[in-house]
Structure 1
Amino acid sequence: MTRLETPARSGGASQRASGATGRGYERGAAPGRGEARRGADPDETQLASTRGRPARPGLARAALLSALVFLLLALPVGGLAPLLMGTGWWFTTCLVVAVVLAIAAGARLLPVASWIPSLAALVAWGVSITVLFAPSEALFGILPTFDTLRTLRDELRDAGASIASQGVPAEPVASIVFLLALTIGLLALVADALVFAVRMPALVGLVPITVLAVPYTIRQQDFDVWLFVWLAAVFLVLVWLADRWGVGLRLRSASSLRPGRNTVRALVSGAVAIALAVVLPAVTPGLTANSFHSLPQGQLPSVYSSGVDPTIQLSQDLRRTNPVLSMTYTTSAASGLYLKLVNLWNFTNGPWQPENTDSAHPLGTAFDTPDGLNTDVATQEVTTSVSVSGLRSDWLPLPYPAETVTGLTGDWVQSPGSLTVTAVEANADGQNYTVTSLDVEPSAAQLAASSAAVPAALQSYVSLPRGIDPIIQSTATEVTAGAVSNYDKAVALQKYFTSGAFTYSVTAPVEGKYDGGNFQAVAKFLSAKSGYCIHFASAMAVMARSLGIPSRIAIGYHPGAAVSRQDNGTATFQVFSDELHAWPELWFEGVGWLSFEPTPGLGLTPPAYSLPNYTSATPATTAPSTAPSSATPVTPRTQTPTDLAANPALTPQAQAAETGRAWLVAVVIVIVVGGLALIPAGLRRLRRRRRLSRMAGSGRSTATIGWREITDTAVDYRLDVPAGETVRAFGARLAALDTVPPEPVLRLVQAVERERFAPGGAAEPDHAQRQALAGDVREVIRGLQKNASRADDRWALIVPRSLFSRAEE
């Protein structure tokens, strides 16, 4: 049999004879160059590998690459520091990452299949999580059992509850540290597999970016430029070294950009990319730090995750699917109480801010006198005992106006005017305290006689910026037409929102892009007539200011649901995290700040003094109270049989059905995604079947069609197929591979050359010859498949490169 040789590739056959065959082609390196590189560094890993396994780096190189992967995870995990207190959580998380990467690196040095190190890393991940967080339920304290899985499941549930109740920075309780170690350790496993098993180190950049984005999605903060620079530099070094040492896939080594030979160009390109990423945001309008309105330190309650706009955080809490118990309180009031955390008063074109705490003073036993409340206004003292169980907030939930508070631990300050209480070195979680407050009962005559004059100290509570949407002023004027006093106007405003023209919805604002509280959102809300509590409260407060009535927005909790009533006339209420609420407070001369309830659809009864018939009611029939009734909570709870009966959607059967639907949706998504992922594989198989069918049937260019299929298969398996290489030269390289028989390659090369260069018609094969050539093509393809590693075989199936780079003939 004549040996395939070519002047340009004369080393191909001889190289095969010397044993330095083929697997170097899998990485796209020419035999001569691959051999020279191996000879230049005999102590390190060779580009070629044993059959069926990818090339492995040596001990020093594997350790360095694993160390770089470790840095790619440890650095962005450190970027989570603004969200969590202390540093112990970082060391625990990095310990799990180090164990996973070390076990994978050690296993990779052994003569095992390419998937074994990833499996070993998976086992190390599971064992380390078990040892650190659930050793008592594990076999020998190491091996996880079913009890271990149940314990870890409970830890995940506790982590979700802790995240729901805590603010920023959160206390790194054991469940949160477990969640971090679990997820970051899994990401370390993925990153290691991308570098060494899949051999696509460039994709590793997605892993640290995922972690780095977390703090910026939770709270607004200045971008850590230096962290980004170091992270980008480590990533570039990793990709460059992986390519230089033959760990990454090489697709175009014959081009002008040869792997491992463009150090200066790679470093310069990486430096320029980093510089642009750092410099452009600093000089581009709208991307600078000053373009985003930020608030002074400590201005926002941590219950709202220290976000820029607490109204946005409130909406997120309202949409939680796993509400947790925030507090329980027992009160002597006739009905439930609004428990206020903070006031919003500074209505600007930016995010609306809470009241300034600069003038706050240490909290004593007694509070300041409520602003504007005259002694001739009837009041009733209310005593309330509060136990906070799931609200990690810098602000203390209190009824307004509070008189005294006892039982608090830690340092707290009181803001005059608003009578809100803020922590200095404490938080609301775990506090058990007793507060006395006033139930203000103004008469109709007192409200009607309230002057429209606004004191100088309250001028900021009627101020509005210029340029707000005119629909706000025009709607307020239209709604209050005919009203004489400020009180009549306030009642008309509340009636406008509760008369049935508006609907309650936590999703409509998101779909309509007017979520949160600001002037743009208020204007859109007045047109859409659908929103949640912050929209109703914001609209009424802004419209009141446009009419000259001082107003502010209170954010806290609505009364919740009564769970028991005692013989002494007190009642116990439970308040959950999704019962956060916002309501407007309007100021009236001689009476002070009064709460209104414009939000419909929650089963909340507005205060008696805010109803239109209050002025016509007799004193005997009025029982005014600033604390609305809690007739029906927003979301009935599953703790009591009564609630289950009232809301069948929360019964175990309904929950099981809901879970079944969720699993069905998940299965459908997996099937759809899997089907889409297999489309390229199906198209590639269809192309091969069509070509082989054309070869076996009647047609022209039989050998050329078969050769195109072979070259496409080589491209799929990451072999280098230069566009200018001759058929004979490429055939010589194929015949040099251990797994490809040279005889069918020679027959195909000769048949292609006859078709291309023989006189017309002389080279057309008969049916038997076409069948034989189709068989040769299949045999060469099988040889290429045997030559490929498992990783290459998977990529050739899922992402056939020839389908995207070579057009069908």
Structure 2
Amino acid sequence: MTTRAKLTVYSALATALAALCLTPLLTTKGWITHAFLVVAVVAAVGAGLRRTPFYRWTVPAGQLLVLSLLLLLGFASSVAVFGGLVPGPESVRLLGRTLSQGLHDVRDYAIPAPPSPGLRLILVGSVGLIAVVVDTVAVTYRRSALAGLPLLALYSIGNGLAGDDGNWLWFATAAAGYLVLLFAEGQDRVSRWGRIFRGSERDGEGSGTGTLGRSGQQVGVLALALALLLPVFLPRWDSGLVHSGTGTGTGAGTGGAVSSLDPLITLTGAIPKPRNVELFSYKSDSPAADSTYLRTGSLDVFDGSSWKRGSAATVPFTGTFPAPEGLGSIDLAEQLKAEVRIGPQLDDAWLPMPYPAVGVTLRDNAAWQLDPVTSSLLPAREKAIKGLNYTVTALDVRPTATVLRTVPTPPERIRDQYLVVPRDLPPVVRDTALRVSGKAKTGYDKAVALRDWFTGPDFTYDATTRTDSGSDAMKDFLERRRGFCVHFASTMAVMARILGVPARVALGFTPGNTKGNNVYAVTDAMYHAWPELYFEGYGWLRFEPTPTRGVQPDYSDPVSSPATQPTTQPTVEPQASAPVQLPSANPDCDAKLRRTGDCGERRESAGGTGEESWLLSGKVLTGLAAVALVLLLLLTPMVWRARLRRRRLGGGGRRRPGGPGAVPLTDAQVLAAWDELIDSAWDLGIPPDDSRTPRAAARRIAEAAELDEGATAAAGRVALATERVLYARSAEVGEPLAADVRTARNGLRAHAGRRGRIRALLLPASSAQLRWRISEALLTARLAVGGRFARTVGAVTGPVRRLTARRPGRGGRSGRSGGGTGGTGS
């Protein structure tokens, strides 16, 4: 392997090892495979371009072009033309939107973030750009020491964002890759001074790297070991050059927005791959405790890209809540009381509470802010919820289907705020909503029709689909009929608005698993989203469109008719009071889990990566293979011609035909130099003439190209040496001819002009010899195969023919007998 090839491999290796520090940033690690593929392709493109006679600045330009093509095929192939194989203008626009969404995700997601397309695009693209910079600095311009700067930037950013998830191993791997790159370039620099002294056989160093080389390696390894071990024995210094005290959100009483994690972002990041760890528990003796959702907040504005809070304004929490929006009378509902204990795994979240909450007892009200529109409590300080114990009182609203069919029209204020949909909403959403609702007249019947359609057999719960909730994801969800709760909730809410039913998206948790003694445990596998629909007089009511998830409320059943007024005795659902113990494949799955659908399917789907395939799909790989094949066919003449010239004139420090040297050249070397001169003239527009002698051919080339005196003399010396080889009794050519060929070729290039030089570089005319050689080889192979086939057929059919020849016909036998008899008689 040449030094340049080693540097190419080691620079790619250093970039790949440094990129490992980015793996803690996302919840899944599959994207690093795609980044490694990009690094390998960038290195291969750089190696190929450096073997061409292009300027050095064209190497990184070509690498950037290929990197852009890879990102377009990887993240925007769905809108590419020719079956997704060739990116078009729409691919560029889609890539821009994906990048914009990724930048938005960077601001909103916590570490580790879910593998959204935008975040994966940023990570893979960043690694690709670093690979181009490192390859350019270390290989193209031979400045490996400076390549440590982009590698350090990559490591610093990745490790800084990872925070506590960072690992000393990432530093060790990144530093090791950089040291290997430095060692490779150091050996190359020393070798340029001549043959490297590697010690005497007496020292046993005949195959080693020498004292100097070993010393450099020892210093590098020692420095790496000290960098890893010394911090263990040093005291921790938390202050730093810039003070980084514990950051806090907006304090109580400011009335502004607080800096906390969006619950939708937390939910979409936790659903694809839950860890099944307990987040909190609650205790309640209410009959509805095992079917109560614990809501953290709601989102009431859909702008086409995601669901958001309509207003970021909050007020200090004083311990009380405003009257539930739209609820005519508290007497219409029973009270539900729960004691909640937050575990150590939940340290940054909005407060989980049943809806609508009417009171909560906290140890410090100043640590929380109230959103009066959605009755949600947001933390005003970091980790305000960690280890919190509180008691919450909520209302259990249970209207009947009959009552909900007769509720009055919502007020104008509600309609203006909760019926808004984007103007650029895909038509399939509106058309599907109208088709599914059919002849339903009331808002309740429309809601039930949507719910029944989503929970029917046409849809499949799949937590591994794309995690965003924008218009494009909604269109994809309706076409594929696969998704998880975010897709079902957001799509049903938008469809309900289209049908005239005010709707918003609520976020929180499904009912917990019973632990006995009226205690229920809630895990991260119970993150959930559902639509809330508004009915005048009863406020916001929950509907459940996600199949196999959650619990359907009684009022969502059109044939159910529970009492409209609460009785003195709590109404206990038959299923909750006397659950039927159905057989289950999982003995750990209790009746409540089977009822909510959390037994097996969620755990099976949770094992998915949550990532879309990228560059590993058949379509994208086919596109890459087609592009690579086209590039290979276009570059084959140029590469073949460059390699042939290198072999004829010499290179790489070894003597080759026509190369320099003190010893006399062989006949093959002289003829190789002459062939190169003729082919160079052919490439630049002067075809060969085999009828002329070498001197006459050289004179013709000099006259046709109007060569100057130096180039003409150089071509004449090559021709004279060739005539000696062809005609003299003994020809000893001591002077090298490679320099003369290059001088004559430079003169030819100067006469050809820019267009002629480009044509000679990309499509050299002498490459026709390659086609001739391929045709000759194919003809030879065909003749060889045909001859072998004929011999095989002859070997198989020969015995049959001989056997047939030895069995003459009846007439023939009598004729031979008659002839014999006649001969004897005469």
User: More relative contact order in 1 or in 2 (CA 8 Å, sep 6+)?
Assistant: 1
TM-score by length of 1: 0.47
Of the two, which has the highest radius of gyration?
A: 2
TM-score by length of 2: 0.46
